[in-house]
Amino acid sequence: MKPRPPWQRQLLRAAALLLLCTAALQAVFALRIALMAVVAPQSTTFQRSEAWRLLVEQHRIAWSQDSVPAARISPQLQRAVIASEDAGFTDHNGVEWDAIEKAWDKNQRADRARRGAAARMPKVVGGSTITQQLAKNLFLSGERTVLRKAQELVLTYLLEGLLGKARILEIYLNNVEWGEGLFGAQAAARHYFRVDAARLSAEQAARLAVMLPAPKRFEKRPDSAYVTGRAATIVARMNAVEIP
């Protein structure tokens, strides 16, 4: 057999090294997620990036968080968040491909509308389940590219396979952003309603759930007409929601 030219051998070595590094990275992620079954994460990538942003832009450290077990988070809040963010949470395997396809089509149309700009990889936004949101917040940057979305999907399946729905929801509720420098259900309940997360009413829980897609915007007007109206819709859906 004729020996391969040097450039081919170098290319094969580079490809093998890339595959090895990728596999090693996924193994590290898997070990970290497996540990979360018994040890709650102390912080997320998103939280640390937000703390750094506030330090650089506003010269202050803002981080309010008090993690509590699921038993100390109101079932009303658990139902409200599922009803608002991911109605199929207990049924899907972490990813809802129909929602991703719709988001992809929307992004493609937006990209075509921006024709004339420099060529770049398409952005992927929307279509995220609770598990995908957790995967992104725990480990990934805010960059929205195809490669980052692919890594998000891998992490999503690892979370579903290694932790299960109840633990995923518990970690999500303890780390999700509810305002600038405000993270987790307990901190949010104390900040907005002066009660513990375990004592949130259905209406209060629904209001917090409404804020999740854009907490920095809604925290300025938590009693706005939109929040009130949307919360009423969520309250009406909550009784049909199953908690894992």
In a domain, residue 3? The reply is: no
In a domain, residue 183? The reply is: yes
Taking a C-beta distance cutoff of 8 angstroms, is the pair 178, 220 a contact?
A: no
**Range 68-84 average pLDDT:** 97
- Asked if pLDDT for residue 227 goes beyond 90, the answer is yes
Q: What CA–CA distance (Å, rounded) separates 84 from 63?
A: 25
Pair of tokens at residue 37: 């079954």
Domain of residue 207 covers 63-87+94-238
In a domain, residue 147? The reply is: yes
- Asked if pLDDT for residue 12 goes beyond 70, the answer is yes
Which DSSP letter does residue 129 get?
A: -
In a domain, residue 113? The reply is: yes
Q: What CA–CA distance (Å, rounded) separates 195 from 198?
A: 8
Taking a C-beta distance cutoff of 8 angstroms, is the pair 95, 134 a contact?
A: no
Give residue 146's pLDDT: 84
pLDDT tens-digit readout, 40-63: 999 999 999 999 999 999 888 889
Pair of tokens at residue 16: 């093998």
In a domain, residue 184? The reply is: yes
Based on the structure, what is the number of domains in the chain? 1
Give residue 109's pLDDT: 60
pLDDT tens-digit readout, 147-199: 888 999 999 999 999 999 999 999 999 999 999 999 999 999 999 999 999 99
Taking a C-beta distance cutoff of 8 angstroms, is the pair 204, 189 a contact?
A: yes
Q: What CA–CA distance (Å, rounded) separates 87 from 238?
A: 10
Angle at 56 between CA 117 and CA 213, to 5 degrees: 60
Taking a C-beta distance cutoff of 8 angstroms, is the pair 105, 126 a contact?
A: no
> At how many degrees (to 10) do helices 6-35 and 146-162 cross?
40
Q: What CA–CA distance (Å, rounded) separates 153 from 167?
A: 18
Instruction: For residue 59, count other CB atoms closer than 10 A to its CB.
Output: 7
Q: What is the mean pLDDT of the chain?
A: 88
Output the CA–CA distances (angstroms, integers) from residue 208 to 83, 193, 202, 230, in the order listed: 12, 10, 10, 11
Cα-Cα-Cα-Cα dihedral of 204, 178, 155, 144, to 10°?
130
In a domain, residue 105? The reply is: yes
Give residue 61's pLDDT: 83
Give residue 111's pLDDT: 60
- Model pTM score: 0.86
Paired with 179 in beta bridges are 182
pLDDT tens-digit readout, 192-225: 999 999 999 999 999 999 999 999 999 988 889 9
Which CATH number goes with the domain that contains 134?
Answer: 1.10.3810.10
